[in-house]
Structure 1
Amino acid sequence: MKSLSIKTIVAIGIGAAVFVILAKFAAIPTPIPNTTVQTSYAFLALMALVFGPIAGALIGLIGHALNDAISYGSIWWSWVIVSMLVGFLFGLAKNKIDIESGIINAKKIVTFNIVQVIAQAIGWFVVAPTLDVWIYAEPANKVYVQGIGAGIANMVTVGIIGTILIVAYAKTRSQSGSLTKDL
């Protein structure tokens, strides 16, 4: 296995800290109990696309676990695992979307949004509520509603804010062959 670079390790630490700050202070309550609209997943998507699936997974895992510990005094592992999974799945699109190239077009934006919707549907509609039932013996009807609510909110948030972030980030990258020599 290829070891992580110092740059990636630092990005994981900073990314997890920013995830916590966004989860704690930039979350919007919903009518569904214990469910908020999380801007942190848009940031997680950006970090996973820049640093890859391992970094995405670790940012999701560490960030969500720290937020739970700070905010609630205990960690809700089923949802933390899903944050890790979603970060990993976002990161799998790193090479396909390649925002480091500085080229972002409609095809890449559509690909990003297809990936993020599928990743979050798997995580929030299936894995989180199923783990809630298995680990915590939560009532299925309650946790599936929470998972669907959180999943839809996260899909919309990542679709809007995440797309803005990746487009803005890509514009900061130099495109290959964009530099010319003045004669």
Structure 2
Amino acid sequence: MKKNLFSTKTIVAVGIGAAVFVILGRFAAIPTGVPNTTIETSYAFLALMSIVFGPAAGLLIGFIGHALKDLLFYGAPWWSWVAVSGFVGLCFGLVWKKINIDEGVFAKKQIITFNITQATAQAIGWFLLAPVLDILIYAEPVNKVFTQAIVAGIANIVSVGVLGTLLLLAYAKTRVKTGSLQKDA
């Protein structure tokens, strides 16, 4: 199935996805003990939406969802991490063609592809981009931002690896496998 990057369905998915990202980011996040750093379930949901709707939706859901969450609950967006959330959503979505979850299959090959992609994207985003942007944009102390980013990155890689994989497995089971329906004679 060819996906239109900005179809009505995708735009609606971005709106709903961003809203769910905000809710999960606020009410389903687990504190880590490191200031302003939590274990986020919202990235597992972002992974699902990115794989189902593609990279443009992933980018927008991550960016808009994170910006709204920060604005609503902290008073202002923390733009460096907002940008990384968009980057991560984009990267998750880049493998939607390889995974093709709409075929109803999310087996070993797709699980491995997904988890290599998500771990790589998040490592780049959280271990490199987030702390460097924090330093450049906000002049934050190096030790502080790298500690926060490493804790957030590891937490997000694990949560997406477990919860994201489970969400994608569940979603795949709702899809009809290609060639599984036959016409009765």
The TM-score range, normalised by the shorter chain, is over 0.9
SS at 2:80 equivalent: helix
Matched, 1:17 2:25: no
After TM superposition, the score normalised by the length of structure 1 is 0.98
Alignment of 1:11-160 (within 5 A): 11-160=13-162
**TM-superposed deviation, 1:103:** 1.1
Letter in 2 for 1:159: G
- Give aligned pairs, total: 182
Whole-angstrom distance in 1 between the partners of 2:5 and 2:133: 30
Distance 1:139 1:41, change over 3 A: same
Whole-angstrom distance in 1 between the partners of 2:159 and 2:106: 19
**Percent identity (aligned):** 65
Runs of 4+ in 1 over 3 A off after TM superposition: none
Q: 1:163 corresponds to which residue? A: 165
Letter in 2 for 1:122: I
Letter in 2 for 1:33: P
1:141-183: CA deviations, max 9, x gaps? 1100100000000000000000000011011111111112233
* 8 Å CA contact 2:56, 2:90 repeated in 1: yes
* 8 Å CA contact 2:5, 2:57 repeated in 1: no
1:38-95: CA deviations, max 9, x gaps? 0000000000001111100000010000000011001100000000000000000100
SS at 1:113 equivalent: helix
Cα RMSD (Å) of the superposition?
Answer: 0.9
After TM superposition, the score normalised by the length of structure 2 is 0.97
Whole-angstrom distance in 1 between the partners of 2:119 and 2:14: 23
Gaps of 5+ in 1: none
**TM-superposed deviation, 1:3:** 5.5
SS at 1:168 equivalent: helix
Whole-angstrom distance in 1 between the partners of 2:175 and 2:31: 35
SS at 1:28 equivalent: strand
